[in-house]
Amino acid sequence: MLSIFQNTLAVPVRGLAWLGGQGTRAVAAVVFIAVAVPPLGALLRPYVTEAIFVLLCISFMRVDLAALYGHLRRPVLVAAATIWTTIGVPLIVGLIAHATGLDTSSPGLFLALMLQGMASPMMAAPALAALMGLDATLVLVTLVTSTALVPFTASLFASLFLGGMLSISPLALGLKLLGLLAASLFAATIIRWIFGAAVIQRHKRPIDGFNIVVLLIFASAIMGDVAHEFIAAPVFTIGIALLAFTVYFTLLAVTTLLFRRVGYERAFALGLMVSQRNLGLMLAATAGALPATTWLYFALTQFPIHLAPYMLTPIARRLTARADTSGAAAAGRTT
């Protein structure tokens, strides 16, 4: 009986391992599947919060504790990245939007950009960084500190820029974020305690595959109406998609340049994190009561989020290889 159970379990595990082996190609395919199968979005939309929870659990479960302690002993980088993503980004977005008159010409799009700027980094950012071979622990630490501050910074920028456009309770949002973080950290700790870090590392590929499945759930829930919107208004939809790509790569490039002095590999990892904003939590905080243009922008941001890792992996690998070479050379000079 035990052997039958093990053989039955081996089939999905092998499937997940194969999927995990596809890496960023599978992440890129997620958005096309989500758009191509609209009924999947309608079916999965109620499970956005659960998907976010599982993604964060996976990130906590796979964290390199030694590297985590190393980052905590040198908090300046984490503090600077946290200030940039929680204060610098929404402030600049709000000022540019006001200067260009976007708040009056397209209130729905202005609301989308402000919510994007006010959001914490996406829960899947550490997992995507790991898939690209980047420093996922630095991303995770900054993700946690940024998320803890978002209830306060979101309230500040909502009052500064949004006025009566959005009714959001910072206290409710803060409790939800803190509860989600605490619960996922607790679950991940239990999993690590039961199975051990060595087993988790040994099953890296199946865990990657499971992570991609959860990403598909989240993307499908957000993007279920994109195909209909494209057919109804193709030029407008393409324009919004181009804006989503522009915002994504601008945040990536500016962040990488700002933090280049800590090494381009780390700076690039931070850029990846900052460019991926957790719009899912903003949707949950507002109960989805948002204008149609805001919803459409949120959906189309999934394209750069899922395609960019595949597009940028060669750059990430070169930066990682360069960092490893520099580290080895430095070690050689000290011996």
Q: What is the pLDDT of residue 10?
A: 65
Asked if 215 contacts 45 with a C-beta cutoff of 8 angstroms, the reply is no
Q: What is the pLDDT of residue 239?
A: 94
Highest average pLDDT, of 17-31, 67-81, 252-266, comes from 252-266
Mean pLDDT within 140-146: 84
- Start-to-end Cα distance in the chain: 57
Exposure string for 296-328, b = 16+ CB within 10 A, e = fewer: bbbbbbbbbbbbbbbebbeebeebbeebeeeee
State the pLDDT confidence band at 177, using cuts at 50, 70 and 90.
low
Q: What is the pLDDT of residue 331?
A: 46
Mean pLDDT within 101-130: 86
Percent of the chain topping pLDDT 90: 20
Mean pLDDT within 193-201: 85
Q: What is the pLDDT of residue 328?
A: 47
Highest average pLDDT, of 114-118, 221-225, 321-325, comes from 114-118
Which residue, 304, 291, 287, is CA-closest to 243? Answer: 304
State the pLDDT confidence band at 330, using cuts at 50, 70 and 90.
very low
Q: What is the pLDDT of residue 4?
A: 45
Lowest mean pLDDT among 250-254, 255-259, 311-315, 322-326: 322-326
Mean pLDDT within 127-134: 79
Highest average pLDDT, of 167-171, 179-183, 236-240, comes from 236-240
Mean pLDDT within 92-121: 90
Residues 6+ apart with CB under 8 A from 299: 222, 223, 225, 226, 229
Domain range annotation of the chain: 35-322
Whether pLDDT at 113 is above 90: yes
Percent of the chain topping pLDDT 70: 85
Specify the CATH number for 35-322; select among 3.40.718.10, 1.20.1530.20, 1.10.12.10, 1.10.10.10: 1.20.1530.20
Per-residue pLDDT tens for 267-319?
999 999 999 998 877 776 776 667 888 888 988 998 998 888 788 888 878 87
Distances (CA, A) of 281 to 49, 156, 225: 8, 17, 19
Give the residue carrying structure tokens 């590999």: 265
Lowest mean pLDDT among 36-45, 158-167, 175-184, 324-333: 324-333
Give me the chain's average pLDDT, please: 81
The H or E element that residue 39 is part of is: helix 38-44
